[in-house]
């Protein structure tokens, strides 16, 4: 597969030659993909639901093929819980969990982590605070004890706070002159208005400076509770041992979270946002309505999105924008599902002098799919790909399996979802996809253009 990636980095100069290379790469990728399918099927996973004596639940996949244990967990909340004027609080907090905990200051904690042969990380999204740990099975006692300290007793010492704050502030200052950062901030405000989703997770110069040690402790207390916790563990550990570790790490946390209520929000459409810079390449981003994860329209929308722009080498957008006309190196569409908002996003970049043409073609492709729907051939190929590619995209390592299992828990899909998923996809009819295409893609999108101003005729 690495040979394919190497070839993609050296693209011939003419559009005809480029098309040949992409078709050859696509053929090779699909050939390798179908060769891998029997191997993946043979590695069917058994997911166990484990509950500790203190009531902490986790999904476990035992795997002793390598002496590694991967842990992934999430607490609901995320950057939406940043108080007004303290934006960036959750992001700053996630940078401090391995900077000292319990009796160990920052240096001592890092040394212990190295001695245990473990990797620990925390990160935030708009809707959650995530933690991960990867450890050697033979040193799991030391590793789990360090995770216990980080989760329950983060020190939030002033010196690490100041150091991590300075790093974040440096990024904020750099972003003030970065077209992409400026554009994404404007995009979020245009789409979400005053909703917490419109805020930059890093915060601002003023908000990051205003955060105190007391703010960090308060957010930790409010978010880190068993009621908002989901855990997945993959690797060389049995269920009984895991129960003890779950109680050790999470069992003494408060029972319930104290979260600020966050309203649902519909993305604001039918806007035209221009971020004008004298750049040789223009970035285009378009937003249409999305679908909720539990909506009956979800799987029809998944197939529709894959046909539109989700398929790297096979989608309509790739065919019309990249393959036929060479207007962009990449073009894609994505269904975005968050706790409080959903959208379908199309993104691409092109030469600035052809931005208007590219935008018009994107809109025409979307319009035709909305009006006519997919073909039977597209439906069959897309179903086959979506069913087969799931394991390759989500289950290729212990860490990725653990991450996937956490997301399945968040979506309340059940331990047997992977077995049921193919049935959901195969059950989708072409009429359902046509209906969801009309429903979502007939709306007037919000469009953002990052680059030189578009001529009026080029706005699509």
Mean pLDDT, range 153-160, rounded to an integer? 98
DSSP three-state, residue 258:
coil
Tell me the whole-structure pTM to 2 decimals.
0.88
Could you give phi then psi for residue 447, rounded to 5 degrees? -120, 130
The runs of H, that is alpha helices, within 224-322 are 239-250, 298-305, 316-317
Given a contact cutoff of 8 angstroms between Cβ atoms, the answer to whether 8 and 330 are in contact is no
- The 10s digit of each residue's pLDDT in 311-340 is 767 899 999 999 999 999 999 999 999 999
Across the chain, what does the average pLDDT equal? 90
Q: Which of 282, 323, 244 is nearest to 458 (CA)?
A: 282
Mean pLDDT, range 303-311, rounded to an integer? 94
Given a contact cutoff of 8 angstroms between Cβ atoms, the answer to whether 301 and 374 are in contact is no
pLDDT attached to residue 8: 27
Which of 2-11, 20-29, 41-50, 323-332 is the least confident region?
2-11
Q: Which 8-state DSSP code applies to residue 137?
A: G
- The 10s digit of each residue's pLDDT in 103-136 is 999 999 999 999 999 999 999 999 999 999 999 9
Instruction: Give CA separation, 136 vs 52, 116, 142, 238, in Å.
Output: 22, 8, 10, 14
Q: CA–CA separation, 194 vs 151, rounded Å?
A: 32
* Ranges assigned E (strand) in 239-387: 272-276, 281-289, 331-337, 342-351
Which residues neighbour 130 within 8 Å (Cβ) at sequence distance 6 or greater?
72, 73, 74, 122, 123, 124, 406
User: In the structure, what pLDDT confidence band is assigned to residue 454 with cuts at 50, 70 and 90?
Assistant: confident
User: In the structure, what pLDDT confidence band is assigned to residue 405 with cuts at 50, 70 and 90?
Assistant: very high
DSSP three-state, residue 297:
coil
**374 vs 39: which has the higher pLDDT:** 374
Q: CA–CA separation, 152 vs 84, rounded Å?
A: 26
DSSP assignment of 32-70: HHHHHHHHHHHT----EEEE-TTS-EEEEEE--SSSEEE
- The 10s digit of each residue's pLDDT in 166-196 is 999 999 999 999 999 999 999 999 999 999 9
Residues β-bridged to residue 283? 349, 450
Direct distance between the N- and C-terminal alpha carbons of the chain, in angstroms, rounded to an integer: 38
Copy the structure tokens of residue 16.
């005809």
Using a pLDDT cut of 70, give the percent of the chain over it: 89
pLDDT attached to residue 314: 84
Burial class (CB in 10 A: 0-12, 13-18, 19+), 436: buried
| C-alpha 323: how far from chain center | 27
pLDDT attached to residue 393: 85
CA atoms within 13 A on the CB side of 151: 30
Q: Which of 109, 134, 102 is nearest to 121 (CA)?
A: 134
Q: From edge to edge, which strands make up the β-sheet containing 57-62?
A: 48-51, 57-62, 229-235, 68-76, 128-136, 119-124
CA atoms within 13 A on the CB side of 298: 11
């Amino acid at each position: 597969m690495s040979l394919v990636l190497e070839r993609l980095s050296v693209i011939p100069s003419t559009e005809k030659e480029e098309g040949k290379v992409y078709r050859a790469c696509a053929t090779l990728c699909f050939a390798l993909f179908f060769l891998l399918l029997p191997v993946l099927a043979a590695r069917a996973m058994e997911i166990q639901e484990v509950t500790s004596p203190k009531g902490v639940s986790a999904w476990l996949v035992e795997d002793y093929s390598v002496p590694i244990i991967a842990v992934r967990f999430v607490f609901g909340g995320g950057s939406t819980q940043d108080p007004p004027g303290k934006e960036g609080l959750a992001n700053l907090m996630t940078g401090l969990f391995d900077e000292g905990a319990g009796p160990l200051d920052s240096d001592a904690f890092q040394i212990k982590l190295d001695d245990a042969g473990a990797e620990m990380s925390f990160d935030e999204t708009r809707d959650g605070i995530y933690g991960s740990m990867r450890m050697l099975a033979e040193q799991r006692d030391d590793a789990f004890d360090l995770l216990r300290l980080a989760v329950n007793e983060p020190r939030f010492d002033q010196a690490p706070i100041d150091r991590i704050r300075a790093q974040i502030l440096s990024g904020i200052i750099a972003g003030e002159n970065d077209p992409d950062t400026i554009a994404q901030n404007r995009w979020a405000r245009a789409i979400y208005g005053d909703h917490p989703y419109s805020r930059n997770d890093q915060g601002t110069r003023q908000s990051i400076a205003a955060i105190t040690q007391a703010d960090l402790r308060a957010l930790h207390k409010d978010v880190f509770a068993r009621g908002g916790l989901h855990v997945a563990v993959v690797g060389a550990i049995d269920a009984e041992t895991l129960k003890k570790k779950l109680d050790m790490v999470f069992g003494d946390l408060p029972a319930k979270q104290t979260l600020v209520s966050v309203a649902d929000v519909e993305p604001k459409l039918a806007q035209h946002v221009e971020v004008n810079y004298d750049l040789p390449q223009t970035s285009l981003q378009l937003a249409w309505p999305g679908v909720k994860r539990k909506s009956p329209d979800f799987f029809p929308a998944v197939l529709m999105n894959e046909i539109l722009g989700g398929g790297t080498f096979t989608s309509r957008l790739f065919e019309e924008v990249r393959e036929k006309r060479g207007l962009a190196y990449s073009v894609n569409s994505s269904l975005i599902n968050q706790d409080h908002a959903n959208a379908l996003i199309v993104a691409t970049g092109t030469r600035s002098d052809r931005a208007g043409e590219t935008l018009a073609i994107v809109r025409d492709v979307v319009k035709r799919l909305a009006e006519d729907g997919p073909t039977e051939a597209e439906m069959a190929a897309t179903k086959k790909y979506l069913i087969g590619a799931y394991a390759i995209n989500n289950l290729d390592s212990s860490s990725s399996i653990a991450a996937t299992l956490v997301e399945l828990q968040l979506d309340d899909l059940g331990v047997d979802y992977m077995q049921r998923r193919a049935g959901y996809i195969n059950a989708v009819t072409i009429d359902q996809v046509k209906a969801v295409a009309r429903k979502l893609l007939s709306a007037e999108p919000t469009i953002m253009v990052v680059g030189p101003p578009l001529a009026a005729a080029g706005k699509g």
